[in-house]
């Protein structure tokens, strides 16, 4: 669950002013080296200020769980996501954004297999090794500007021999100066 939170935080970080690709749908490419990832992420410029971020659940597929239990799980997750998040991004945090995100990813045992940040678009795939040794695969795709973004994030993970798929939509917008 921690790596899922890190991946969600990655989307949030990229969603501030930025944050896959169908080129590797299975996520089986070799991991990118840290310098390649840093080169892409450092293109993201974060504008300090107050931000409002909302997440919505687009897909929740948990095979092997009966329909009623799956619906309850989906509802709980959807409600938790809908609460949104308002936060202040200070000038120091904005300046450290990409560097801090890379450090968090390294600590969470996550690696990018693809990332392309260009022309106001972000497409990325990454894999995170979970506590039990299982791998979660994440795909992120969307648009960004200095004051907000729209990002879709999908994750797939094997749970008890079944592939669980979750897709979320993240919307982030600068609402003004920090309060």
pLDDT tens by residue, 151-177: 999 999 888 788 899 999 999 999 999
Angle between helices 91-107 and 34-41 (to 10 degrees): 150
pLDDT at 4 over 50: no
**Confidence tier at 15 by pLDDT (50, 70, 90):** very low
Whole-number pLDDT of residue 16:
37
pLDDT at 26 over 60: no
Whole-number pLDDT of residue 161:
81
**Confidence tier at 28 by pLDDT (50, 70, 90):** low
Its pTM surpasses 0.85: no
**Which is more confidently placed, 19 or 92?**
92
Distance, C-alpha 46 to centroid of its chain: 16
Segment 9-29 shows an average pLDDT of 41
Segment 69-85 shows an average pLDDT of 84
Whole-number pLDDT of residue 96:
81
**Confidence tier at 76 by pLDDT (50, 70, 90):** confident
Q: Where exactly are the structural domains of the chain?
A: 2-176
């Amino acid at each position: 669950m921690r790596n899922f939170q890190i991946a969600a935080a990655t989307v949030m970080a990229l969603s501030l002013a930025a944050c896959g690709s169908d080129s590797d749908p299975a996520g089986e490419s070799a991991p990118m080296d840290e310098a390649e990832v840093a080169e892409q992420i450092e293109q993201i410029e974060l504008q300090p200020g107050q931000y409002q971020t909302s997440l919505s659940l687009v897909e929740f597929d948990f095979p092997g769980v009966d329909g009623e239990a799956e619906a309850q799980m989906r509802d709980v997750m959807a409600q938790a996501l809908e609460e949104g998040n308002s936060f202040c991004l200070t000038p120091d945090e904005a300046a450290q954004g990409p560097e801090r995100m890379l450090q968090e990813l390294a600590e969470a045992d996550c690696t990018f297999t693809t990332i392309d940040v260009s022309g106001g678009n972000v497409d990325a795939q990454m894999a995170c090794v979970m506590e039990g040794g299982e791998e979660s695969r994440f795909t992120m795709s969307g648009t960004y500007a200095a004051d907000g973004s729209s990002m879709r994030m999908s994750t797939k993970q094997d749970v008890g021999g079944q592939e669980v798929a979750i897709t979320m939509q993240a919307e982030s917008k600068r609402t003004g100066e920090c309060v």
